[in-house]
Structure 1
Amino acid sequence: MEIEELQSAWVQMSQELDHQKKLTNEIILDMTKQKYQNKFNILTKYETVGAFVCFIVAFFVLLNFGKLDTWYLKICGILTLSFLIVLPVLVLSTLKKIKNIDITKGSYKENLKVYLRTKNRLLKLQQVGMAIGFVGLLFIVPVTSKIISNKNVFLTNLKVEQYVIFATTLVALAFFCKWAYKGYLKITQSAQDLIKDLE
């Protein structure tokens, strides 16, 4: 009788340990998933605020599009609107996609594959955004100048201080872009490490 009781107790303990192990694994997976999603929460907040500002500026340009009275200013206006609307939408949709990858479902290999593809797209969008940001000054400045002060910069001789302001803006933009891109690299690598920990 004692052997049967010991066997019964052993089986019960074994089942309880298996149950505990399963619960612990589920808790670890849920915590990892939460950590993963939190990595992209801050990026999403910054990009949402940035997109909101871009949409307000785009709306302002649209309201004043009639002030762009030459064909080349109209082209600059269209390029400005495209930059202010299309890029933020693409970045936000890619961020949503990468944030919503359920790293607890599916295989490790498949999750990593989807993550890497989406991460590369997000980083490529950032690179394109930075490049267009620099080139964009060439079409955004004429649009804002015409709308705000009714001056066509293509027909105006710029003063030395205006060149200095333009150069300073380029330098500040370069530092900001480098800082922001480093942040993206750090966060995406950290999220990738979380996925690798699940292997």
Structure 2
Amino acid sequence: MELEELQASWIAMSQELEKQKRLTNEIILKMTQDRFQKKFSTLRSFETVGAIICYIMAGMIFFSFEKLDTWYLQTSGVLTIGFLIVLPTFVLKSLKKIQNLDILNGSYKENLLIYIKEKNKLLRLQQIGIYLSYLLLFLVVPVFTKIISNKNIFLSNFKPLQGVALFVALVLMFFFTRWGYRSYKKITNSAEDVLRDLES
């Protein structure tokens, strides 16, 4: 009788330990999910503000499109609107997808593979955005100059001060885009480390 009671107690204790282990693993996964999502919350906030600014600028060009009275200004306007709408939308969608990765479901390996794929897609979008932003600078200036001051800069004399301003803008863009891309890499690598901690 004592042996049966001992076995029953042992089984009950084993079941309780297993239950505690599952509960602990669940808590760890939830905490990891929160840490993972917080890595992207600031980045997503900045991108949302940036996207809103881009959409407002695209709206300004769209509603003032009749002021763009030459084919090359109209082409610049259409390309600028496209850039200001398409790229921020893709970046926000990519960020949402990566931030909402459900690590509570699926295996560690599956989640890591999905994350790396989405991370690479997000970083590729950032690289494309960097290269296109230099082109955008040369499109935005004539478009907004025409919309705001009704001047066609292609028909006006190029002043040395304008050249200096353009050079300064390009240098600032270079440093800003470099800083932004490094920040993206740092955040995405840090989030990957959070996922890799689950392996240990």
Which TM bucket (shorter chain)? over 0.9
State the partner residue of 1:18. 18
Aligned to 1:172: 172
Supply the distance in 1 between the matched residues of 2:146 and 2:180 (Cα, whole angstroms).
30
Does 2:10 align with 1:38? no
Partner of 2:96: 96
- Counterpart CA distance in 2 for 1:61 and 1:72 is 14
Matched residue count:
199
Q: How does 1:1-199 map to 2 (within 5 A)?
A: 1-199=1-199
Separation in 1, partners of 2:35, 2:43: 14
CA distance in 2, matches of 1:109, 1:174: 37
d(CA) in 2 for partners of 1:19 and 1:111? 25
Q: Secondary structure at the match of 1:153?
A: coil
The two structures have a TM-score, normalised by structure 1, of 0.95
Query: Which one-letter code corresponds to 2:130 in the other structure?
Result: M
Distance in structure 2 (CA, Å) of the matches to 1:158 and 1:137? 16
Determine the C-alpha separation between the residues in 2 that align with 1:29 and 1:57: 42
% of aligned pairs identical? 55
Does the residue aligned with 2:154 lie in a helix, a strand or coil? helix
Amino acid of the structure 2 residue aligned with 1:21: K
Whole-Å separation in 1 of the counterparts to 2:15 and 2:132: 60
- Shift of the alpha carbon at 1:164? 1.1
Q: How many Å separate the matches in 1 of 2:21 and 2:107?
A: 20
- C-alpha separation in 2, matches of 1:81 and 1:4: 78
Query: Which amino acid in 2 is paired with 1:45?
Result: S
1:88 Cα deviation after fit: 0.6
The 2-side partners of 1:94 and 1:128 are apart by 14
- The alpha carbon displacement at 1:110 in A equals 1.9
Aligned-residue RMSD, C-alpha? 1.3
Q: Distance in 1 between matches of 2:112 and 2:104?
A: 11
Moved more, 130-139 or 102-111: 102-111
Instruction: Report the Cα offset of residue 195 of structure 1.
Output: 1.9
> Structure 1 residue 106: deviation in Å?
1.3
How big is the shift at 1:155?
1.0
- Distance across 2 between alignment mates of 1:184 and 1:36: 14
Residues in 2 aligned to 1:79 and 1:132: alpha-carbon distance in whole angstroms: 11
TM superposition score normalised by structure 2? 0.95
Provide structure 2 residue ranges, at least 5 long, that are not aligned to the other structure: none
